[in-house]
Structures are given as C-alpha cells and as structure tokens.
Structure 1
C-alpha cells in the first residue's frame, strides 16, 4: 500500500517503561503521522485475561473486548494492532472484528516465544516476527501470514543527554542477568571501569534503568558490550544494538553473521570472538579514542538512515495488503 495515514488502535503493555520497545513502536507510528488510539494495558490491567499465566511474550494473553468495544467502535479503526506480550482477542471476537478492519500482531521475543504464540498468530490478518529463523518455524507450522520486521528505534534515542557522575564508565552492560553473561561481566569489572545495569545480577550492579535514567546511563559510558544469546539460547540481533548505536556509543558484540545485514563490522560496530579478544579490543579502543568515536558515529549514522521505527513501519505497511473491510463500523 501507499503512505496512507491509517487509523490504528494500538494495544500494548509498557513493561520496560517509556524507553521500552513497545512504546518505541508506538512513537514510530506517531512519527509517521498515523492516527492512534492507545490502549495502554500497563495502566488498565483489568482489561487483561490471562488464564494460562503466560508472561515474557508468551501467549495467548487475552484482551477483554467487552470493556473496550465502545471506544474502538467510536474510533472506527483501519487496523487493530496487538504489540507483543502474547496479546490477542478470543477467536470469536477476532473473527467478527476482521469483517471491519485488519488485525495485526507484532511478536518481539522470537524464537523464544514461538512454541506458544504459534497457537493463535495465524488468526491475525498479518503478523510480524523479529527473527529470520522464526519465519521458517512459522512456515513449517503452516502459518503463512508472518512478515520479518527487525528491531529499530524511535527518534528520541538520537537526542544527546549530559553524562552524570554516578553512571560514568569506560564500558557498560545494559541488560538483565543471564548465567552465560556472568564470566564476561566479572572480567569486565575486574579489568575496566565497568558499570552494569539490569535485574538479577549476583555481582555489583546499578540495577535496571528505565525512561530518562536509561538515557543518562547510556550517554555516560563510552562503550557497550552486547550479548546476542536469547534466554532460550538462540542468537539474535537484539533491540539493544540499535538503541546503543543511536546514541553513538562504540558497541562490541560476539561475532555472528546476521549482524552483517545491519552494521558493518570494523566500521560501524566491533565484533569479538571470545572473552580474551573482547578484553584486547576494549583496551585498544580505550587507547585510540578518535578511532572509537569515529566507529560509534558511523554506527549512529547507519541507525538514523536505516534503522528507525518510522522507516521499518513505512516499509511494512507498503509491503502488506490491508484488506477492504466487508462491513462499515456500526454506530455504538
């Protein structure tokens, strides 16, 4: 389709605050100029029915149609968009609503959540995944409505923030604890002025940072170390890569091929092969600050030119075919 302005009902939870990916997608839609009705489930938890106790992007987690139908019908949307969290309506509601508009679901935690979300995402008109591997998994499961949409950032991430003393560091980890990250994190703290931000770390950390504190933490470090393994052991290009790149930080990530579709190793991002290689390269760039800054700024430019949610969503809506509704929205 074209660059038509759409009326979109946006349904999501902001579990990571205003700097989280769900809010970032909302702002990307807003930057494009779409007319939005925001259903913020973080502020309206009574709208959620979660009989299977799913969390972390697993589903189905049902949204109670009866409690929001009047505001949605009054809005007369072209699209109802479920943004992650395993969110959906119960099937009879979906079947009825698809007569009036297109239903789209974004999945942001693949391949980890594929085992549970595969049970319902095929019922949407369109569905997106963050994972090329998951595309094949959906096809093999007989689900053919899924599009690949990589992560990105909104324009806020390019706005500089003044460093603050308590967060200043040479290198940082901004991410929650996982056992496979511990050895490297310990080595970073032993060898460098390193700050760790996130939940659950058994070594000294600053705790999780959200909203303005996230920006302060990121703009107070020189370098960021990325861990590409997901909780379920898959290797992914994660949203943190784009967030860090947008701020102009120098990013180190364990080498994997998928990253080459987004950033050029050695010119926009730095790859390492193992812990010893990471330590060596951090020492090198701490001594060659002009080179480190040039690579960080090149990564920032690539992010601004290619990896914003405005750009991703424009591409998505141009590629998908939104159907002509069978019916017009009825009066309330």
Structure 2
C-alpha cells in the first residue's frame, strides 16, 4: 500500500517512527510535516520565536498555515495514496476535502484530546476512521460523527531509537543520575519535582531561570495554548531552586535514550490529558530497559501489568517512598524493568500499532 503520513514536526518524532514502521511492514510511505515545530536548528529556533512574539505571531502563523496546507494539497494530488494518516488537528477543511478526494482511506490518529481543537471536531465527519491515544477521548459525539468508526489505539515506540545501550564511562557520567526526568516544563511538574531535590534529581528539557528569561516572558506575554488552558498547567514560574537540577534544555530522543540507560530511576510524569491512559514515554522508557516510576491513576488498559512490569504512584508521598525503596533494591528494579522491556518489544512498537490499524480498516 501507499501511505501518506501527515505529522507535526515536533521533538516527539512520532511521524518519523510511523514512517519507518510502515516501510518495515513492506508498505510504500511518504512523510509530510503538517506543521513545523522543529527547534533544534537555528532556522527552527527563529521560527519558534516568531510564533510567540505578540506583534508578529498572528500574521506569521496564518502565512505558515497557508503554505503548509498548500504543500499538502500538492503532495496528495501528485502521490495519490491508498491511506492517509493525519496527526495535525488544524488542517484547513478544504485541505482535508482534497485529501479525501485523492485517497482511498483517510484516518486521523489523535495524540491530543480532540475536544481541544474545534476545527478538528468540525471536520471529523470527513474522515473514514478515527484512532485516539486515550480511550476517554472517544465521546458519543465523535462516535456519531465517525459512524462508530472511532477506536482506541495508543502510540508506541521505535526500538531503533529507544533500546538498551552500553554507554562509555564519560557518557554514563554525563547523562546518568539516581533519579532523572525528561520532558516539558509545566507548573504541576515544577511543584512535584521541587519536592524531590534531596534525591540527586536530574531534569532534562527545561531552561534555567534567569533575569533575561523573565524579561522575555514579560515581553512575550501569556501564550494561549488549548491544552495548557484546559488543564491549567501552562503558568510555569521558573522556580530558581530547580536550577541546580536542570542538566539541559532541548533534548532529542537519541539523548533521551542515553539518559534512560544511564539512570537508576526514570520519572514518567503524565500530562493531565493522559492521566488515565498510557503515554508514549511509557513505551520508550521501557524499550530502553530502564526502570520507571509512572504517575498514573487508572489501570494500565491491558498494556502492562501494574507493579510487576510498570510501577505507578499517585501522590508525592507515595512517590518518595517508592524512590527510597527502589534506590535501595537495584535487583528488584532490574527485574521489573526487564519484564517491561520484553513486553514492549513483543507488543508495543509502532509496527504493532500500524498492524492493528490496518486490521481495523481492512488494509
């Protein structure tokens, strides 16, 4: 089959992983970025800043959206794919109609709660199938719009990127810590991590607090983000006492894998929209062979066995007790991490997810 994948260009790189998995399954695949959030290059950094400054952000984003949608239409007309998998919630209605007219099957695979994006809800009826990264995102309205063709399908991991690695001594020292966290900075995470500084905590993915950053935040103003607004997590304070724990800002997944391999315990702090589901990081940490403590309040949805494959916590006191226990008993850590590792490789790669998707749609 010919697949066209449309993904946002962000640090998670799930578009890359689906693209590789599709080829591994013997399909022809083409990947397009439906939005551009690459920040690890100079050009990407400048684009990112342009989107955020209030006096140019609106005009810049409209121009960027117009160019991206135009490119997608040109691509789908030329490529004529059998299946299109879209992960961008803000494509124009005209673009989605054009994709539909030039393909055999149009799929949306949601990595965020679709209710956060009115433009997506307004165009879901155009799609043939909808797959959600969390089961509670599939509302009665969505099932009605999709004529009962909405399904739960979590993301997975790429074992080409996340895997067990033997690091040189200098890399182990650089990336290792008794307790590590890799992820975006949100106010709820600041509160939790500020209570763990006595455990030699290492934080990756954050910028240190300083006067220049405070001035920039003041000039930029409050950023409107539907996810942050919905869950109340966007008003980070840049707590100075966390500076000592911050090891690096932008962290790609190659580096993240080294961090996981070099750390005794990896914290997996769920985003509030995923608190009853299982996020991609769960699979990625497990695929690296690392032991994780997972902030999770629901069951594991049949993906892992709770506490024997993935150890969960739901309060800061529970977390602190488990950190102390598992730092003291490394053999127990390794046994649990190894079970999660084997389960992940046998059930939770992106190739597994695409097979499941194609079974559902008959591809």
Q: TM-score, normalised by structure 1?
A: 0.79
Q: Which of 184, 187, 192 in structure 2 is aligned with 1:179?
A: 187
Q: 2:204 matched to 1:197?
A: yes
Give unpaired runs (5+ residues) of structure 1: 1-5, 54-60, 323-332
CA shift in 2, pair 1:96/1:133, >3 Å:
closer
CA contact (8 A) 2:131 2:151 kept: yes
Equivalences for residues 209-288 of structure 1 within 5 A: 209-230=251-272, 235-288=276-329
Partner of 2:343: 302
> What value does the CA root-mean-square deviation take over the aligned residues?
3.0
Kindly provide the CA deviation profile for residues 4-61 of structure 1, in whole angstroms up to 9, marking residues without a partner as x.
xx11122223211xx522322222222222101222454899xxxx9x96xxxxxxx6
Counterpart CA distance in 1 for 2:341 and 2:103 is: 41
CA contact (8 A) 2:275 2:297 kept: no
Partner of 2:120: 117
Q: Which has the higher contact order (CA 8 A, sep 6+)?
A: 1
CA contact (8 A) 1:111 1:234 kept: no
CA drift at 1:316: 0.9
Q: 2:23 matched to 1:30?
A: yes
Counterpart CA distance in 2 for 1:290 and 1:112 is: 43
CA shift in 2, pair 1:67/1:172, >3 Å:
closer
* SS in structure 1 at match of 2:32: strand
Counterpart CA distance in 1 for 2:19 and 2:95 is: 27
CA shift in 2, pair 1:193/1:318, >3 Å:
same
CA drift at 1:174: 1.1
CA drift at 1:133: 0.6
Kindly provide the CA deviation profile for residues 267-315 of structure 1, in whole angstroms up to 9, marking residues without a partner as x.
1111224212211111111111111101011111111111111011101
CA drift at 1:129: 1.2
Partner of 1:328: none
* SS in structure 1 at match of 2:203: strand
Q: Which of 170, 177, 189 in structure 2 is aligned with 1:169?
A: 177
CA drift at 1:105: 1.9
CA drift at 1:317: 0.4
Counterpart CA distance in 2 for 1:96 and 1:285 is: 50
Equivalences for residues 42-191 of structure 1 within 5 A: 42=36, 66-67=70-71, 71-82=75-86, 84-91=87-94, 94=97, 97-98=100-101, 100-110=103-113, 113=116, 115-139=118-142, 142-144=145-147, 145-156=149-160, 157-160=162-165, 162=167, 163-190=171-198
The number of residue pairs the alignment matches comes to 301
CA contact (8 A) 1:62 1:88 kept: no
Q: TM-score, normalised by structure 2?
A: 0.73
The structure carrying a bigger helix percent of its residues is: 2
CA drift at 1:68: 5.2
Partner of 1:319: 360
Counterpart CA distance in 2 for 1:313 and 1:128 is: 11
Give unpaired runs (5+ residues) of structure 2: 45-50, 52-56, 59-64, 208-237
Return 279-288 or 154-163, whichever deviates more: 154-163
* SS in structure 2 at match of 1:104: strand
